[in-house]
A and B are shown apart, each in its own frame.
Chain A
Amino acid sequence: MADEDPIELRNGRRNKEDAELDMTAMIDVTFLLLAFFVVVSKMDPQKTIDLPLASVTFNVPEKNCVVMVATADAETETFKVYKGSAMNEADLVSLDDPDLLEEEVGAYVEGEFSLHPTKEAVLIKGEGDVRTGLIEMIKRGVNLSELAKSRKIHVAVEEK
């Protein structure tokens, strides 16, 4: 007992124990962290949409919706309308002519609904700084689609 106290343990007995440490738990934790960061980094592009806040909300599964995204740059007062939630540059809708915009939105919505007839609604994700008129234009564009007439229009918000 007496000869096993601190002086003896410094001679490297602990090191032998360390070599036998089970790595499984450490690997598990590492995977956990990995998964966490993968998830967090994927959420970021969605968070960049600054949705308006509301207290009374309903949940709608995004998978079942044809999504339109409207973003605003508050400083330059410029707006962008995307077809689909991916927000690719290729999916940008031209804002030069309101009539063309409505037609393009209508054609996209019509195409999506004929491709995926199970989709139930149109979801418009508009940032808070987007002008009401632009959202209204998108809605009128949706109205041009025959398949959208029997479906609902949802406006995305974020819970307060």
Chain B
Amino acid sequence: MSSTGDSKRFGFPDDDIGPAHDSRRAAIEYDASQQKASDSSSEVSYKHMGWKGIDEPPDDDYEPEMGIQKREPIPEDDLDMTPMIDVTFLLLIFFMVTASFTLQQSFEQPPAKSDEPSTNVAETEEVEDDYIEVLIDQNNTYYITTRDVEELEAPSDTEMRTQVLDAKSSSNATRLIITAHVDSFHRKLVAVWDTGLLAGLQMEIKTTEEDY
């Protein structure tokens, strides 16, 4: 082997195959011979001599299988846990999803007061404690009336929010009166209600058909 390998390695024209082909085969054979040489120093050579390596089972108590009696208990290590884990995750996800979707985030609001939408009720109520009034007009603009300021305009939700929170902190207002035009967006009313909850104010809602 080594003599032919050597001859091929150097590309000697002792074969019918073309020189390019020849040299490649020679290279592979050379590699293989190298590997064998390195392996022969370790376990491979022992295996040839009958040594079976450490990982093979000892032969001492090995019994040949005898027909029907060959049933052996399945070793517990062989149980595959993957499907069980998969199913468990499936159930987990299912219950998580169903649990979270039965709940609806919401506000509790008082029932509507009168049959006729009007602001006239506001004047009849006694106003002894401090309050903040937010008006939402037909163009969805906020007007905030406090003890100090009359009808301060707030075009955006954030401005309304800061103004209401400022008014709350600068006075001892406990109530928030929301007057919404019937054509204003529900979203705007919810924004004011949200602000009122944030400020910890007692709230009441009125609707009006008057344009501003």
Q: Which residues of A contact B (CB under 8 A)?
A: 1-3, 22, 24-25, 28-29, 31-32, 35-36, 39, 43, 46, 52-63, 65, 70, 121, 123, 125-136, 139-140, 142-143, 149, 152-159
Whether B146 is near chain A, meaning CB under 8 Å from some CB there, is no
Contacting pair A25 B190 (CB below 8 A): no
Total residues of chain B contacting the partner, CB 8 A? 49
CB-based nearest A residue for B183: A131
Q: Which residues of B contact A (CB under 8 A)?
A: 32, 35-36, 39, 44, 80, 82-83, 86-87, 89-90, 93-94, 97, 101-112, 115, 117, 136, 180-191, 193-194, 197-198, 205, 207, 209
Within 8 Å by CB of B111, from A61, A135, A143, lies A143
List of A residues within 8 angstroms of B93 by Cβ:
32, 35-36
Contacting pair B104 A62 (CB below 8 A): yes
Name which of A32, A36, A52, A61 has the most chain B CB atoms within 10 A of its CB: A52
Known: A128-B185, A155-B190. 14 other contacts (CB 8 A): A1-B44, A35-B94, A52-B186, A54-B191, A54-B193, A59-B106, A61-B102, A62-B102, A131-B182, A131-B183, A132-B183, A135-B186, A136-B207, A157-B106
Contacting pair A132 B181 (CB below 8 A): yes
CB-based nearest B residue for A36: B93
Main secondary structure of the interface of A (DSSP, over half): mixed
Within 8 Å by CB of A2, from B39, B117, B187, B193, lies B39
7 tightest A-B contacts by CB?
A: A133-B182, A128-B187, A28-B86, A139-B112, A52-B190, A57-B105, A154-B106
**B78 vs chain A, min Cβ distance (A):** 12
List of A residues within 8 angstroms of B32 by Cβ:
2-3
A55 to B115, CA, bound (A): 31
**B86 vs chain A, min Cβ distance (A):** 4
**B176 vs chain A, min Cβ distance (A):** 13
CB-based nearest B residue for A59: B103
A133 to B83, CA, bound (A): 56
Contacting pair A52 B191 (CB below 8 A): yes
List of B residues within 8 angstroms of A61 by Cβ:
102-104
**B40 vs chain A, min Cβ distance (A):** 11
Given contacts A32-B90, A133-B183, contact A140 B106 (CB under 8 A): no
Given contacts A2-B39, A132-B181, contact A154 B107 (CB under 8 A): yes
Subset of 12 A-B contacts with CB under 8 Å? A24-B80, A53-B190, A57-B105, A60-B105, A63-B102, A132-B189, A136-B112, A140-B112, A153-B110, A155-B107, A155-B108, A157-B190
Contacting pair B182 A29 (CB below 8 A): no
CB-based nearest A residue for B34: A2
List of A residues within 8 angstroms of B136 by Cβ:
132
A25 to B81, CA, bound (A): 10
List of B residues within 8 angstroms of A31 by Cβ:
90
Within 8 Å by CB of B87, from A28, A58, A63, lies A28
**A132 vs chain B, min Cβ distance (A):** 4
Given contacts A29-B86, A132-B183, A143-B112, contact A158 B117 (CB under 8 A): no
A62 to B115, CA, bound (A): 28
Contacting pair B104 A25 (CB below 8 A): no
A58 to B94, CA, bound (A): 23
**B203 vs chain A, min Cβ distance (A):** 12
A43 to B102, CA, bound (A): 11
A134 to B106, CA, bound (A): 18
Within 8 Å by CB of B185, from A1, A57, A121, A132, lies A132
